[in-house]
């Protein structure tokens, strides 16, 4: 990390210095042979002949005001990076000392250590040395919260459509614009910039935890966003020049060497944020998306236009003919290369042929978008409902391209970012200032030993579950509190599978065990006599073993509700299993070792060995040899990845089954679901809607109606409960965000009344106009009368 930052400083100096040198110190007439150069010893022109004298070069720089301005701005920025580098050196030294002295890991061992091993050592160190003084034991969730505090907020804001990144343009239609520059400004405004919402790296400012002055805070935030937008607008020319120069120096050689690289695709920045689970580290996310890259590329290549293919074939033919003649002449006599523009023509023709080939599909390619989209879903875990069954449509392809874009589009967006970012900040983000203030107040919880974190990252089904994602009857969340697209449920399953030693609360444990048992029972086709709470670790692995060896055991998947839907679910899991077998790298490695049973025996032996010590088998990388330890870790890691893929497919099938009989609440196609309400069968229409689904909508501001002198009693009870009672884990919180009247759980006689909330950005019903002028509510008269929406979690 230290070496990388050193080269970043050198790289900045090189780009600025080299650009100024090319613009002011080179005589291009000599370089292009437009000016005759007198030589006393030789008539050959050398490269130093094209360089201007030092005095002439310095005079040209001094007389250019724009160059002076760029040099000043670049110097200030470089000094800022230098001071940051010096500060990071101290931090890196502390990290190094912590790994060596506390975790007992040398620098030579660190590159080959797994994250699970490092995390297990941190948990053990906390028990012995109490590195966190606020609590006795650290959980895996506490560690993730410390690392991903701000990223969890960003994932939640994207999930709730709070950030202005989706736009409807006149020609392009619906378009997503989310670049590194825009993301940098979002984080600068919310988290760590001057005047941000957080006073330090772990605590939200106290004024943002109360609702009485929300309008004043919203106006203050809007003013700050305006000034930052103006600063971006003033620095736009300098940043734009830097972006162009950096892109030119970075991608020119790559384009010359591999012209087809611009036609390759990559996961967009918005796609990484939309597809990210709560509490998912960067390497876990990239590993998951990398596994779905091949299937995603094949899916996007299915939609090549036949007309474009014909044009590309003919253009490639003509360009290839000219290139063949030039190459033949060059082979016959190399003096042909001395002719003007011959070498340039050969290069351009080669680039043209490579680009045309990218539009010509493979003649052996089979058009199977539905199967490919299901394989993609097995890895990315998130997908709008209306994509399933419509994978062959260009609308689905265009929406998926927002997550999986061309590399050329990514570069172009980054080049346009200095121009577009100020516009988004000034005209789009500023209008959402009140919703942002409400979001941070309503969805921030204080976790003892961790600090303020996003409540969505607690992955509490009761507080943020969605009834359409297997949480019906288990959640008390209103529409405002529900995470969209099953984010809470899928994130919970991913975290539980990735960290099997994590001990969640009782309700969460029951949800996880029940889902695992249901997947295992319906996949094997046999009823299970095991209680959901006593499900062993070997049962999910046996399901994965069946998936890797063959789909025969999945043929008997059944559902109790509808036989016709059971066939679709079984086919979906069958396709997912076969796809995972074809894409899974561990399948081939296990085949080379002889059989899957051998790996099972090795994994089972390791699991049994570590069961007594309470250590996760995936954290162990030792064995009879280092190679066997790494192989065991690879096998178990692949098991966890495949297990999560199967659970994601299963949860999507259940959600699809439930959505067929109910009105869908998906944010991507809300209007379509409302228009299709007339087609709901009478049997479904006549069924009563559960109380947990009948949520009103009003202001985003919750109110309380306490009895006289009850607030201090409630606050003291809350404090004593948070500090005195032992909780199973940090997730069991004392939050009360659900709508409707509620009795105070501490017996103080306080009745908590929650008014319904306005849906956040993009959720408004058709015909409902967003009001910019904020009308104060009667309960906002005094700030001290409003209880803070920050609750301690122990």
Q: In whole angstroms, what is the distance from residue 507 CA to residue 515 CA?
A: 12
Each residue of 161-186: b (16+ CB within 10 Å) or e? bbbbbbeeeeeeeeebbbbebbbebb
The beta strand positions in 257-309, using DSSP E, are 265-267
Q: Is the dihedral of CA 595, 596, 599, 605 positive or negative?
A: negative
What mean pLDDT is predicted for residues 759-785? 37
- Does residue 548 have a pLDDT over 50? no
What mean pLDDT is predicted for residues 764-771? 38
What pLDDT, in 10s, does the model give residues 518-536?
Answer: 888 877 765 444 333 333 3
Read off the pLDDT band of 130 (50, 70, 90): confident
Residue pair 760/160 in contact by the 8 Å Cβ criterion = yes
Residues in the chain: 794
Alpha carbons within 13 A on the beta-carbon side of 19 = 22
So what's the pLDDT on residue 140? 92
Pick the residue with more confidence: 357 or 707? 357
What mean pLDDT is predicted for residues 450-464? 93
Q: 376: phi > 0 → left, psi -120 to 50 → alpha, else beta; which? A: alpha
Pick the residue with more confidence: 540 or 273? 273
Q: Does residue 555 sit in helix, strand or coil?
A: coil
Q: Does residue 702 sit in helix, strand or coil?
A: coil
So what's the pLDDT on residue 41? 58
What mean pLDDT is predicted for residues 245-273? 85
In the numeric block, which tokens belong to residue 134?
């606020």
Alpha carbons within 13 A on the beta-carbon side of 419 = 9
Across the chain, mean pLDDT equals: 74
Among 20-29, 99-108, 527-536, the range scoring the smallest mean pLDDT is 527-536
Pseudo-torsion of CA 753, 755, 761, 766, nearest 10°?
Answer: 150
Long-range contacts of 595-598 (CB under 8 A, 24+ apart): 596/545, 596/548, 596/549
What pLDDT, in 10s, does the model give residues 425-441?
Answer: 999 999 999 999 999 99
- Does residue 359 have a pLDDT over 80? yes
C-alpha angle 603-606-609 in degrees, rounded to nearest 5: 150
Among 178-182, 397-401, 493-497, 538-542, the range scoring the smallest mean pLDDT is 538-542
- Does residue 60 have a pLDDT over 70? yes
Q: For residue 169, report the phi and psi dihedrals to the nearest 5 degrees.
A: -95, 155
- Does residue 678 have a pLDDT over 50? no
Q: Is the pTM of this model over 0.75?
A: no
> Among 747, 744, 751, which residue's Cα sits nearest to residue 703?
751
Among 82-86, 495-499, 614-618, the range scoring the smallest mean pLDDT is 614-618
Q: In whole angstroms, what is the distance from residue 338 CA to residue 710 CA?
A: 92
What mean pLDDT is predicted for residues 192-208? 91
Read off the pLDDT band of 703 (50, 70, 90): very low
So what's the pLDDT on residue 281? 95
Residue pair 783/210 in contact by the 8 Å Cβ criterion = yes
Alpha carbons within 13 A on the beta-carbon side of 732 = 16
So what's the pLDDT on residue 525? 63
Residue pair 121/131 in contact by the 8 Å Cβ criterion = no
In the numeric block, which tokens belong to residue 356?
């045309």
Pick the residue with more confidence: 116 or 673? 116
What mean pLDDT is predicted for residues 245-258? 82
So what's the pLDDT on residue 793? 53
Among 222-236, 452-466, 492-506, 603-617, the range scoring the smallest mean pLDDT is 603-617
User: Where do runs of H (alpha helix) occur along 302-341?
Assistant: 306-332
Q: Which residues, including other chains, have CB under 8 Å from residue 258's CB and lie 6 or more apart? A: 354
- Does residue 601 have a pLDDT over 60? no
- Does residue 621 have a pLDDT over 80? no
- Does residue 103 have a pLDDT over 60? yes
What mean pLDDT is predicted for residues 617-642? 59
The beta strand positions in 400-533, using DSSP E, are 404-406, 444-447, 451-454
Q: In whole angstroms, what is the distance from residue 508 CA to residue 499 CA?
A: 14
Residue pair 99/110 in contact by the 8 Å Cβ criterion = yes
User: Per mean pLDDT, which of 48-52, 233-237, 674-678, 739-743 is the most reliable?
Assistant: 233-237
Q: In whole angstroms, what is the distance from residue 135 CA to residue 730 CA?
A: 11
So what's the pLDDT on residue 629? 54
What mean pLDDT is predicted for residues 197-211? 92
So what's the pLDDT on residue 127? 85
Q: Give how far Cα 397 sits from Cα of 297, 394, 402, 586, Å.
A: 11, 5, 9, 30
User: Per mean pLDDT, which of 175-179, 255-259, 390-394 is the most reliable?
Assistant: 175-179
So what's the pLDDT on residue 319? 94
So what's the pLDDT on residue 409? 92
Q: Which residues, including other chains, have CB under 8 Å from residue 233's CB and lie 6 or more apart? A: 422, 426
pLDDT over 70, % of the chain: 68
What mean pLDDT is predicted for residues 365-385? 91
- Does residue 3 have a pLDDT over 50? yes
Q: In whole angstroms, what is the distance from residue 149 CA to residue 512 CA?
A: 24
Residue pair 738/481 in contact by the 8 Å Cβ criterion = yes
What mean pLDDT is predicted for residues 603-630? 43
Read off the pLDDT band of 476 (50, 70, 90): confident
> Among 221, 135, 189, 283, which residue's Cα sits nearest to residue 722?
135
What mean pLDDT is predicted for residues 254-283? 88
What pLDDT, in 10s, does the model give residues 631-653?
Answer: 666 677 788 888 899 999 999 98
Read off the pLDDT band of 208 (50, 70, 90): very high
What mean pLDDT is predicted for residues 546-568? 39
């Amino acid at each position: 990390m230290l070496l990388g930052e050193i080269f970043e400083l050198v790289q900045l100096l090189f780009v600025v210095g080299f650009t100024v040198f090319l613009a002011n110190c080179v005589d291009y007439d000599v370089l292009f042979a437009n000016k005759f150069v007198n030589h006393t010893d030789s008539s050959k022109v050398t490269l130093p002949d094209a360089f201007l004298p030092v005095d002439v070069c310095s005079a040209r720089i001094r007389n250019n005001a724009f160059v002076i301005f760029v040099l000043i701005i670049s110097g200030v920025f470089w000094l800022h990076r230098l001071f940051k580098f010096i500060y990071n050196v101290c931090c890196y030294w502390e990290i190094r000392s912590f790994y060596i002295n506390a975790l007992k890991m040398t620098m030579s061992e660190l590159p080959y250590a797994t994250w699970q091993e490092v995390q297990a050592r941190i948990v053990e160190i906390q028990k012995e040395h109490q590195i966190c003084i606020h609590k006795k034991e650290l959980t895996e969730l506490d560690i993730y919260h410390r690392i991903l505090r701000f990223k969890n907020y960003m994932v939640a804001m994207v999930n709730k459509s709070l950030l202005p990144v989706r736009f409807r343009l006149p020609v392009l239609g619906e378009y997503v614009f989310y670049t590194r520059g825009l993301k940098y400004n979002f984080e600068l405004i919310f988290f760590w910039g001057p005047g941000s919402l957080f006073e330090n790296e772990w605590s939200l400012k106290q004024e943002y935890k109360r609702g009485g002055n929300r309008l004043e805070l919203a106006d203050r935030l809007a003013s700050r966003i305006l000034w930052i937008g103006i600063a971006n607008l003033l620095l736009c020319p300098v940043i734009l020049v830097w972006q162009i120069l950096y892109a030119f120096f970075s991608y020119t050689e790559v384009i010359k060497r591999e012209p087809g690289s611009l036609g390759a695709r990559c996961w967009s920045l918005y796609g990484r944020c939309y597809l990210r689970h709560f509490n998912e580290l960067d390497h876990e996310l990239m590993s998951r998306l990398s596994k779905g890259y091949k299937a995603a590329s094949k899916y996007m290549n299915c939609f090549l236009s036949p007309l474009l293919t014909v044009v590309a074939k003919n253009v490639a033919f003509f360009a290839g003919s000219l290139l063949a003649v030039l190459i033949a002449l060059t082979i016959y006599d190399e003096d042909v290369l001395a002719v003007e523009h011959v070498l340039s023509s050969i290069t351009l023709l080669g680039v043209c042929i490579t680009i045309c080939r990218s539009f010509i599909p493979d003649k052996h390619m089979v058009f199977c978008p539905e199967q490919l989209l299901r394989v993609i879903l097995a890895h990315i875990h998130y997908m709008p409902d209306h994509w399933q069954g419509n994978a062959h449509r260009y609308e689905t392809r265009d929406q998926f391209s927002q997550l999986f874009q061309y590399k050329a589009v990514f570069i172009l967006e980054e080049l346009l970012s200095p121009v577009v970012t100020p516009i988004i900040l000034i005209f789009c983000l500023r209008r959402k200032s009140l919703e942002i203030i409400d979001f941070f107040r309503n969805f921030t919880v204080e976790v003892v030993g961790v600090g303020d974190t996003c409540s969505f990252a607690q992955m509490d089904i009761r507080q943020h579950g969605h009834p359409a994602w297997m949480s019906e009857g288990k959640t008390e969340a209103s529409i405002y509190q529900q995470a969209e697209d099953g984010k809470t449920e899928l994130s919970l399953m991913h975290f539980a599978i990735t960290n099997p030693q994590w001990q969640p609360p009782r309700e969460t444990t029951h949800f996880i065990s029940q889902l695992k048992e249901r997947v295992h029972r319906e996949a094997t086709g046999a009823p299970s006599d095991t209680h959901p709470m006593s499900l062993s670790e070997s049962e999910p692995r046996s399901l994965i073993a069946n998936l890797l060896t063959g789909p025969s055991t999945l043929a008997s998947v059944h559902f109790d509700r509808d036989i016709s839907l059971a066939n679709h679910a079984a086919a979906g899991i069958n396709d997912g299993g076969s796809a995972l077998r074809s894409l899974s790298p561990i399948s081939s490695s296990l085949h080379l070792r002889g059989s899957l049973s051998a790996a099972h025996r090795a994994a089972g032996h390791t699991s049994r060995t570590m069961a007594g010590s309470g250590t996760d088998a995936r954290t162990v990388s030792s064995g009879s040899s280092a190679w066997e330890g790494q192989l065991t870790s690879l096998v178990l890691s692949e098991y966890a990845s495949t297990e999560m893929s199967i659970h994601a497919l299963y949860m999507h099938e259940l959600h699809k089954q439930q959505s067929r009989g109910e009105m869908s609440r998906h944010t991507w196609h809300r209007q379509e679901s409302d228009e299709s309400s007339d087609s709901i069968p009478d049997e479904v229409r006549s069924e009563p809607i559960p109380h947990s689904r009948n949520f009103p909508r009003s202001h985003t501001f919750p109110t309380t109606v306490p009895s006289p002198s009850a607030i201090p009693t409630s606050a003291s009870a809350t404090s004593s409960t948070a500090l005195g009672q032992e909780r199973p884990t940090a997730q069991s919180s004392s939050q009360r965000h659900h709508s409707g009247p509620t009795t105070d759980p501490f017996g103080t006689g306080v009745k908590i009344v929650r008014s319904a909330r306005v849906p956040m950005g993009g959720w408004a019903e058709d015909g409902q106009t967003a009001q910019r002028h904020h009308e104060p509510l009667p309960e906002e008269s005094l700030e001290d009368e409003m209880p803070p929406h920050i609750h301690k979690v122990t």
